[in-house]
Structure 1
Amino acid sequence: MQFWTGALIGAALFAAGTATAQEAGTAKPAGTYTNPLLPSGPDPWITQVDGTYYYMHTQRDGITLFRTRNIADLANAERKKVWTPPKEGANAHLIWAPELHRIGKSWFLYYTATASGFSDDAHRAVFVLENKGADPLGGTWIDRGRINTAHAGIDGTTFQYRGKRYFVYSPYLGPDSGLAIAEMKNPWTLKGKEQVIAMPDQPWERLDGRQILEGPEFLPGPRGDLFLTYSASPCWSDDYALGLLRAAPGANPLDPKAWSKAPAPVLHKGNGVYATGHNGFFLSPDGKENWIIYHANSAAGMKCTLKRAPHIQKFGWTADGRPDFGLPVPENVPQPVPSGTK
């Protein structure tokens, strides 16, 4: 994941929820936030660079970047639509899961798109844009085209480990969606053989008519482990949840045998929050706390719509160095903002 590539670029996002404690008739204490952060925000992503926080989510008709230095004021963050898809072509509509990464001296936006005239899985792929300017809300975005994955697929992400850059996405493999990894020649080109590292082989990954692993995101462990979270089962299920892959310190990420899968979801519905999925990670402004951002629904049966909203919460680590996300924090209940927030 971008904010932890190389020497660690953190990422942070923050917010005041749309259905706030004040709206419920209770004053929200200073120094707190409430979930959800916004009324809409499927597939949320955050990046921190030099104390500035960038946020984005699925809008389907383009990509908008939010920018703020105030962890508690996302709703009032500066925002700009930085890219609109062409009217025709391989990346013309259904724009999903954008991710902003700072790689070298350029900004890169990875996103999923579907070809014009189609809405099926076979015509979806991951694409990338590059901006060589200092400001991702300005400058010019260059279309670098489709990532040369071996399969149609969605939800691409990238990270650097031990001097090499890797790309992970969710390819369509027959009736299933799995997770695959490849080394990168440059930020828009894969090299070498693509390796499938996980398939939906657990009952909780095969609910409501689909066998799906998607939304992979990289998380470095405190002991040098590599972790990849992913979202399992279809997004329209109330039981959409996060799973976890682990590779031991020093392992080869391209070796499928290096990855082991947690036997149960590591973040799932609870406390009145449903369909927890498609996450990212960030650090508090002072770098002392680990936080997760994910989308969720506020009630059962809300399915896979733009009403999926971004939630954040602090997490810790188990005694053996694995992330411990706990249950979703309840909505509209004030929570302390990340440490170091000003």
Structure 2
Amino acid sequence: MSRGAILLLAAFSGCLAAAPEATAQTNTGTAIEAGGFVNPLLPSGPDPWIVRDGSTYYYMNTQGNRLAIRKTQDITRLADAPEITVWTPPAAGPNAQSIWAPELHRIHGKWYIYYTAAASGHDDDAHRGIFVLENAGRDPTRGKWTDRGQLKTEHTGIDGTTFVYSGKRYFAYSAYVGPDSELAIVAMANPWTLQGKETIIARPDRAWERQGGRQILEGPEFLRAPNGKLYLTYSGSACWSDDYAIGLLSAPAGSDPLDATAWTKTPDPVIAKSPEQDVYAPGHNGFFTTPGDRETWIVYHANPGPGMQCTPKRSPRIQRVEWDREGRPVFAKPAGSALALPRPAGAP
């Protein structure tokens, strides 16, 4: 099968020590009665994304043929929130099909959705890119979404995200470079315009990033530590492999994100499969905080069993991220449906 065909099938058909969940209980029923919750949040939800605005959480995931948002004040009860379709692709054009990996961002009083799409008639790597929609309304589930077009990246690619560091906005994505998928960062002039030259900051050079017959780094996500240090998580290996996992890059506080030499890669995944918890191929994560930024949480997808590959069976899960004394993130071992977890701070 060609590389493009494999990617299409895979995407939607579709170190730091791990801290134990010290307050979690194995008695799931009792813990939930006491205010806990269990993963996954939904039975299906590849490439999940959560952003909070005030006390409201907004959630998106890959749908394949449209963009939809759920909103709730209790993220652990996401299944009770109706799914609202906010955009469908045109019948033809550069963004007509394979609508993947949406991210919703609030920037300068407006909402923006970054998503991956492919051109009509050419659903392959050479015709895949990241696009932007804009909504000036207060509620992203309402109002008009304006198409701001395709970001002019140096390479075709997927999984775009944006972040601000030291007052400057940047864009990161997974770039197709030869047979590999690599991580690239570039500055932004505004939420839909790139500025200057891209920098490749990481390549799939570890054995764990080459599982499933492909060399892949994708799904970059920015995480700023309380002490200002920069972190960037990413997913490594082919998503159809049970060994798909989440890796971590770090850079000192005050670094230039465009300086490739500033970034250091953690040798091993920070989140990997946990067969004892029935969690396989965890990846494509994002981060969000609770009201008042009291807690940092990670959202990611995973399969509930082995050999499920890249299908809608991938489901969204959340877990709290702790910080050690040096300001490094500490990721808990993936928790499955048999292990109840404490709810996020401020949950109603």
| TM-score normalised to structure 1 length | 0.90
Q: CA deviation at 1:119?
A: 2.3
Contact 2:40 2:336 in 1 (8 A): no
Q: Residues 232-252 of structure 1: CA distance to partner in whole angstroms, max 9, x if unpaired?
A: 001001010001011100001
Give the 3-state SS of the residue equivalent to 1:74 in structure 2.
helix
Q: Identify the match of residue 287 of structure 1 among 274, 290, 293.
A: 293
Matched, 1:107 2:98: no
Q: Residues 132-176 of structure 1: CA distance to partner in whole angstroms, max 9, x if unpaired?
A: 112211111000110010010000000011111000000000000
Deviating more after overlay: 311-320 vs 256-265: 311-320
Q: CA deviation at 1:319?
A: 3.4
Q: Which amino acid letter does the alignment assign opposite residue 325 of structure 2?
A: A
2:190 aligns with 186
After TM superposition, list the pairs within 5 Å mapping 1:1-342 onto structure 2. Answer: 28-270=32-274, 271-285=277-291, 287-342=293-348
Structure 1 segments, 4+ long, off by >6 Å, are none
Unpaired segments ≥5 residues, structure 2 = 1-27
Unpaired segments ≥5 residues, structure 1 = 1-20
Q: CA deviation at 1:67?
A: 0.6
Contact 2:320 2:332 in 1 (8 A): no
Give the 3-state SS of the residue equivalent to 1:73 in structure 2.
helix
| TM-score normalised to structure 2 length | 0.89
Higher helix share: 2
1:13 aligns with none
Give the 3-state SS of the residue equivalent to 1:138 in structure 2.
coil
- Distance across 2 between alignment mates of 1:330 and 1:52: 25
Give the 3-state SS of the residue equivalent to 2:240 in structure 1.
coil
Contact 2:72 2:78 in 1 (8 A): yes
- Distance across 2 between alignment mates of 1:332 and 1:66: 25
Contact 1:181 1:194 in 2 (8 A): yes
Give the 3-state SS of the residue equivalent to 1:179 in structure 2.
strand
- Distance across 2 between alignment mates of 1:59 and 1:79: 11
Q: Residues 179-238 of structure 1: CA distance to partner in whole angstroms, max 9, x if unpaired?
A: 000000110010100111110000100111100000000000121101000000010010
- Distance across 1 between alignment mates of 2:257 and 2:293: 26
Q: CA deviation at 1:312?
A: 0.8
Q: Residues 38-91 of structure 1: CA distance to partner in whole angstroms, max 9, x if unpaired?
A: 011001001111211100000101100101112332111143100000111110
Give the 3-state SS of the residue equivalent to 1:72 in structure 2.
helix
Q: Which amino acid letter does the alignment assign opposite residue 320 of structure 1?
A: E
Contact 1:286 1:339 in 2 (8 A): no
Q: CA deviation at 1:314?
A: 1.2
- Distance across 1 between alignment mates of 2:121 and 2:184: 27
- Distance across 2 between alignment mates of 1:341 and 1:53: 11
Q: CA deviation at 1:27?
A: 8.6
The structure showing larger relative contact order (alpha-carbon pairs under 8 Å, at least 6 residues apart) is 2
Number of positions where the alignment pairs a residue of Structure 1 with one of Structure 2: 319
- Distance across 1 between alignment mates of 2:248 and 2:84: 33
